[in-house]
Structure 1
Amino acid sequence: MSVRHVEISGAGFAGLTAAAAFAQRGWTVRVHERAPNLRTAGAGIFIFENGLKVLQAIGAYDDAVRGAHLTPARETRNAEGKLLARHPSRPNQRVYTIVRQQLLEAVADAARRAGAQILMGSEVVGATPAGVVSLSSGEMAKADLVIAADGVHSRIRDSQGLVRSRVKLGDGAIRILLPRNNDATDSIEEIVEHWSGKHRLLYVPCSKDWLYLALTTLNSDVEGKSLPLNTKAWGASFPHLRQLIDRIGNEGRWDEFEMIHLHRWSSGRVAVVGDAAHAQAPNLGQGGGCAMMNALGLAVAVEKEQDIQIALQQWEARERPLIEHTQRVSRLYSTVGRLPDSLRSVVFSFAGRSRWMVQQRMRTANHCPTGAL
């Protein structure tokens, strides 16, 4: 049997996970990243059990979690700091919070160890259903499979006419990574989600050295989304967190949330993975986990079925229902966040006690991904 070849556009979590998984299965792999350096937007990232199982499967687990924060619990609190819900972690329901750059480099290293080639400053500008990619350098390359892992603005996906809907969700986040002082402002080890009006401040320890903050608000909130951060506006929302907010200074970036659905996840020999296929609001902390699961599942599908197009159909049929469930629940969470404070507090308190609602929210986290060990 001849060695098969895959060309991947995008060196994010989806693209690099695919690179590692395909290389481990004997494919030759080239990853194209238009940036000059391996980098990731954002600051910190949640990895639940589903994502941890993918990292184990591709050999990136140890590097990814080294020094990362294993959270004892996740809490939701109101503007006064009153506890609305608490979800303790369990040995089989772990949540690691990791600096995104560390996770990205761990997955890239696993891909390289497996034999994948990662080309920086190399941009894919087009692809055909027959599996031919065009690079900005003028080079053209033929592959048995092309993977579009080039994010929400994917040029490959759009060139195939695959988008069914792309919806701006009306809210977004300022993300910040701060050095930890381990004083009164950042000594809490739990992940805490603070709500006040339409403002949400997510407090996330990522290691003994780093603290990740995500400040979410509506896109229409000019003061709330302004940069440098309007510490007066956010301090008024969370007076008990004012010392922490004052530490932010000029750090941070604003990103608006959106959700993407495709008619199909593939076109001929082109497959679309990660945010390019199923971007979602980050309310469940599953954007990275879904991207990695989907990429590993794709490698398993084409390993078991020689006919690429049949394999892609089987892959989508198996993986898509859970991904879309995750998108729905995440969007519902955004809807709850828009409720008046008193009503939202009641909903969060009830949801934290409802076994069924917790199961729906945690279904993806507790899922054993295709190809996991």
Structure 2
Amino acid sequence: MQKTEAVRHAEIAGAGIGGLATAIALAKRGWSVTVHERASTLRTFGAGIYIWSNGLRVLKALGAYEQATAGAHVGPQFHTRDHNNTTMEEIPINGPADARLITILRETLINTLVDVARQNKVEILTNSAATGATPEGELFLADGTVRKADLVVAADGINSAVRDSLDLLMYRKHLGYGAIRMLIPRAVGDVPASDTNRYIEYFTGTRRILYTPASATDLYVALCCSADDTAGLKVPSDRALWTESFPHLANLVARFGDAGRWDAFEVVKLKRWSKGRVAILGDAAHAMPPYLGQGGGCALMNGLGLADAVTGAEDVASALVDWEARERPMTEHTQDTAERLGDMNFWPDDIRSQVLKITGKSREIGAERMRTARHIPTAANLDV
């Protein structure tokens, strides 16, 4: 039995990927939506983002696909290289039978979602920080305002004030590892010509360098190291240090800029994803390390699935319970798989190299790693 009101209203905390995707999906289903962003602008930190088939299908369903993917980089393989620059794993992508993967600038994705949200009459308020919520559908703002809604969505990041006001956190685990992310212009000679368009992750000791073309002109680089590697996590990055660890990437390291930001990798799990008429998603609900490139993909999937679950439901709270039951297993599979992949950060070089050369040939292990990428999200388009 459907609720008879012509228009339901949603208040969303956070104008990131999850919040904007949810806003668009709700607005396209007839909801009125207001999104609150605590920052003064909608600009985002300059880095790249991986979007696999599952996320691309969501973008298509939101009407954001063409704009978001314009100028995207489409690589032929993902390589994992050891301390000798020997390929341990080669994951084929973008072939007829493979999962698709594109990389773009995170700013491109956010700007696209903002544009599509506004096209669908979503109201976006900046300098508007959420401080808490009630299960009855009230969102509290830092200026003392209380906003009432049929649905409140907390997509306000890993430090979510809304989530914590409802006592939903089960645990938040620091993984002892993280990355400095930066964007630099692409240039001939960074890597051998045969590697120019590939996605490549290089290992040496407990350090990694992730090489990711994000457009025809932009290169996304992540310098990864343990949280106690004070020299490795220094910003600006120590070029001599990283050249010593990765001498075969000396040309690339020499071009590192002074910008960048250290981000620690964490895992967040909740007791439940909702309380009454309040739903939690994105990093607020299911933060994960980036080893599968699926943090944004899961936020997109869960936002679309959420809109599908609550639209037409007589009882929003019950619909949110059903939404969690449907979406959480795939998200937690992704979290758990990504966390396990991080274990190899601390293995000795020779052991890691031998293990990955063996596991890289396992179809079963490969299928588990690619399970999320090949997943068909709820209410998503299939023709991507």
TM-score per shorter chain, which class?
over 0.9
**Is it true that 1:115 corresponds to 2:157 in the alignment?**
no
Cα deviation for residue 306 of structure 1 reads 2.1
* 1:325 aligned partner: 333
Structure 1 segment 84-99 matched on structure 2, within 5 A: 84-89=88-93, 90-91=95-96, 92-99=98-105
**Is it true that 1:159 corresponds to 2:165 in the alignment?**
yes
Cα deviation for residue 182 of structure 1 reads 3.3
**Is it true that 1:74 corresponds to 2:78 in the alignment?**
yes
Q: Which residue identity lines up with residue 106 of structure 1 in the other structure?
A: T
In 2, the alpha carbon distance for the partners of 1:42 and 1:159 equals: 30
In 2, the alpha carbon distance for the partners of 1:12 and 1:120 equals: 12
* 1:63 aligned partner: 67
Q: Which residue identity lines up with residue 200 of structure 2 in the other structure?
A: V
**Is it true that 1:190 corresponds to 2:201 in the alignment?**
no
Scaled by the length of structure 1, the TM-score of the pair is 0.98
Cα deviation for residue 302 of structure 1 reads 0.5
Q: Secondary structure at the match of 2:27?
A: helix
Q: Which residue identity lines up with residue 73 of structure 1 in the other structure?
A: Q
Identity over aligned residues, as a percent?
A: 49
Q: Which residue identity lines up with residue 146 of structure 2 in the other structure?
A: M
* 2:275 aligned partner: 267
**Is it true that 1:14 corresponds to 2:22 in the alignment?**
no
- What are the Cα deviations for residues 36-67 of structure 1, in whole angstroms up to 9, with x where unaligned? 11122350000000000000000110111100
Structure 1 segment 100-139 matched on structure 2, within 5 A: 100-139=106-145
Q: 1:247 to 1:324 in 2, by over 3 A?
A: same
Deviating runs (4+, > 6 A) in structure 1?
none
In 2, the alpha carbon distance for the partners of 1:14 and 1:305 equals: 21
Which residue of 294, 300, 304 corresponds with 1:292?
300
- What are the Cα deviations for residues 213-256 of structure 1, in whole angstroms up to 9, with x where unaligned? 01111001111111110111111110010111111131211000
Scaled by the length of structure 2, the TM-score of the pair is 0.95
In 2, the alpha carbon distance for the partners of 1:184 and 1:205 equals: 11
In 2, the alpha carbon distance for the partners of 1:183 and 1:75 equals: 18
- What are the Cα deviations for residues 260-286 of structure 1, in whole angstroms up to 9, with x where unaligned? 000000011110000000000001000
In 2, the alpha carbon distance for the partners of 1:186 and 1:307 equals: 58
**Is it true that 1:211 corresponds to 2:219 in the alignment?**
yes
* 1:146 aligned partner: 152
Which residue of 346, 349, 359 corresponds with 1:341?
349
Q: Which residue identity lines up with residue 207 of structure 1 in the other structure?
A: S
Structure 1 segment 352-371 matched on structure 2, within 5 A: 352-371=360-379
- What are structure 1's unaligned runs of at least 5 residues? none
In 2, the alpha carbon distance for the partners of 1:58 and 1:42 equals: 23
Q: Which residue identity lines up with residue 315 of structure 1 in the other structure?
A: W
Q: Secondary structure at the match of 2:231?
A: helix
* 2:27 aligned partner: 23
Q: Secondary structure at the match of 2:57?
A: helix
Contact 2:213/2:219 (CA < 8 Å) preserved in 1?
A: yes
In 1, the alpha carbon distance for the partners of 2:371 and 2:123 equals: 34
Contact 1:80/1:238 (CA < 8 Å) preserved in 2?
A: no
Q: Secondary structure at the match of 1:147?
A: strand
Q: 1:173 to 1:42 in 2, by over 3 A?
A: farther
* 1:200 aligned partner: 208
- What are the Cα deviations for residues 82-126 of structure 1, in whole angstroms up to 9, with x where unaligned? 111111112451100010000111111111111211111111122
In 2, the alpha carbon distance for the partners of 1:136 and 1:39 equals: 21
Q: Secondary structure at the match of 2:89?
A: strand
**Is it true that 1:176 corresponds to 2:170 in the alignment?**
no
In 2, the alpha carbon distance for the partners of 1:96 and 1:295 equals: 20
- What are the Cα deviations for residues 319-352 of structure 1, in whole angstroms up to 9, with x where unaligned? 0011111111101101022111011111211221
In 2, the alpha carbon distance for the partners of 1:7 and 1:291 equals: 17
Contact 2:172/2:266 (CA < 8 Å) preserved in 1?
A: yes
Q: Secondary structure at the match of 1:301?
A: helix
Cα deviation for residue 184 of structure 1 reads 4.4
Stretch of structure 1 that moved more, 73-82 or 206-215:
73-82
Contact 2:72/2:214 (CA < 8 Å) preserved in 1?
A: yes
* 2:55 aligned partner: 51
Which residue of 33, 38, 41 corresponds with 1:37?
41
In 2, the alpha carbon distance for the partners of 1:183 and 1:299 equals: 46
Stretch of structure 1 that moved more, 53-62 or 86-95:
86-95
Q: Which residue identity lines up with residue 32 of structure 2 in the other structure?
A: T
